Amino acid sequence: MEYTIYVGTVLRIKQGMMKGAFRLMYCGMPNENTFVLTPFIASHTYQGYSPSIYYNLNSSIIQVYDKQFDVLEITPEYIILGD
């Protein structure tokens, strides 16, 4: 499955039947060699945190939580990830 995430939008990705889902936001490219993804982690219903994870532009496979994604295409406006 392919996921297209635009800058500033949040995508909800299911992890499995009993595991629930997590949310992932694409934060763009701070420079020409780096892109940033932010997973939303909720520790309670009213609290949470969101670490920004910086990846090299040449990364072909990235890991968020326990899930690996293939990086198919990266632009400053959007990113396409595959399972």
In tens, the pLDDT along 7-22 reads 999 888 877 776 777 8
Which distant-in-sequence residues (6+ apart) come within 8 Å of 78 by Cβ?
A: 4, 5, 6, 7, 26
Question: pTM score, two decimals?
Answer: 0.83
Per-residue pLDDT band at 5 (split at 50, 70, 90): very high
Residue 74 pLDDT: 95
Task: Convert the pLDDT of each residue in 26-76 to its tens digit.
Answer: 999 999 999 999 988 766 666 767 889 999 999 999 998 778 999 999 999
- Name the residue among 67, 68, 72, 81 with its Cα closest to residue 25: 81
3-state secondary structure of 58: coil
Letter string b/e over residues 49-72, b meaning 16 or more CB atoms within 10 A of that residue's CB:
eeeeeebeeeeeebebeebebebe
Residue 61 pLDDT: 94
